[in-house]
Chain A
Amino acid sequence: MKTTIVTFLLLNIFVILNLPIVICLSIAFSPDSFLTIPTNNWTLKWFNDYFYQSRWTEAFIRSIMMATLSTFLGLTLGIPLAYAMTRLNIPLKRLIHGTILLPLIVPPIILGMGTLPLFYGIQLNGTITEIVLMHSCMILPIIYLILKNKVEHINPEIENAAMGLGAGIFETLWFITLPLLFPAIVISGICGFAISINETMVALFMAGPTNETIATMTWSQLKEAPTPLIAVASIINLITIITGFVAMKFTRITFTSNTNRIKRIQ
Chain B
Amino acid sequence: MIKKLHPYIFIIPALSLITLTIFTPLFLMIRVSLLKPPEGTGFYIPDTLSFENYQSIFDSYGVSILINTSIFALEVSFLSMLFGFGFAILMQELSNFLRIICFICLLLPKFISPLIIVFGLQRLLGSHGIINDSLIAAHLINIPLDLSRNHIGALIAEMYLTIPFVTLFLFSELSSIDKETLNAAKGLGASNYQVFRKITFPMCIPGITIVWQLSIAWNLGSFLGPLFLGNPSNTTIACEVYHQAFEIGNWPMAATWGVLMTAIIMVFLWLPKLTFRFMLNENSK
Interface residues of A (CB under 8 A from B): 3, 6-7, 9-11, 13-15, 17-25, 27, 35, 37, 73, 76-78, 80-81, 83-85, 87-90, 96, 99-100, 102-111, 113-118, 120-121, 133-134, 136-137, 140, 144, 159-160, 163, 169, 172, 194, 198, 200-201, 205, 214-215, 218-219, 222, 226, 230-231, 234, 237-238, 241
Contact = CB atoms under 8 A, between A and B. Distances in A.
10 contacts: A10-B87, A17-B105, A17-B106, A20-B119, A107-B265, A109-B221, A118-B28, A120-B43, A218-B116, A226-B119
Contacts of A105: 213-214, 217, 265, 269
Contact of B111 (A17, A73, A118, A238): A238
Nearest to B86: A13
B15 A21 contact: no
A87 B2 contact: yes
Main secondary structure of the interface of A (DSSP, over half): helix
Which of A24, A25, A110, A230 has most chain B Cβ within 10 Å?
A: A110
Contact of A169 (B5, B113, B123): B5
B26 interface: yes
B112 A234 contact: yes
A115 B3 contact: no
A111 B29 CA distance: 10
A207 B10 CA distance: 31
Interface residues of B, number: 74
Nearest to A27: B123
Given A10-B94, A110-B241, A172-B2, 4 more contacts: A77-B17, A88-B10, A200-B115, A219-B115
A2 B83 CA distance: 20
Contact of B102 (A10, A84, A205, A218): A10
Contacts, number: 228
Nearest to B213: A105
Interface in B18-54: 18, 20-22, 24-26, 28-29, 32, 43
Nearest to A190: B111
